Amino acid sequence: MLERRLPLLVAAGAIAIIANLAPGTLQLGTPSDKLNHMLAFAALVPLALFAFPRAGVAAIFLGLAFFNAGIELSQAALSLGRKPDPLDWAAGVIATIPFLAAVGLYRLYRVT
């Protein structure tokens, strides 16, 4: 069980740490903060699906949305020079939709 969830835990932990670093600490990703959020959460989708293969698409979506909100709240609480932005949350949520929709359609229409 842990071997399925470990990649998700490592990636989510790395994303949470990087998202809370002071601006300019690391030069990772793209110049666009919104695009960085989209890429990070798009990368978490397959890891979450692998970690929780029996979970529904809605449960994965909600889990990632709450994790994304937690990152924004931690930026407000930690005062490390980062500011929470609802548009960052929206970018992360929007990025998960196409991937989860594709998986949902596959699960719905697959031949068993």
CB atoms within 10 A of CB 10: 11
Give the tens place of pLDDT for each residue, 22-64.
Answer: 777 777 667 778 898 999 999 999 999 999 999 999 999 999 9
Domain count for the chain: 1
**pTM score of the predicted model:** 0.88
User: Residue 66 is part of which domain span?
Assistant: 2-109
What CA–CA distances, in Å, run from 76 to 36, 82, 84? 19, 7, 6
Q: Which DSSP string do the residues of 53-69 spell out, in sequence order? A: TTS-HHHHHHHHHHHHH
- The model's pLDDT over 4-14, given as tens digits with 9 standing for 90+, comes to 999 999 999 99
Reading the block at residue 24, the tokens are 């300019």
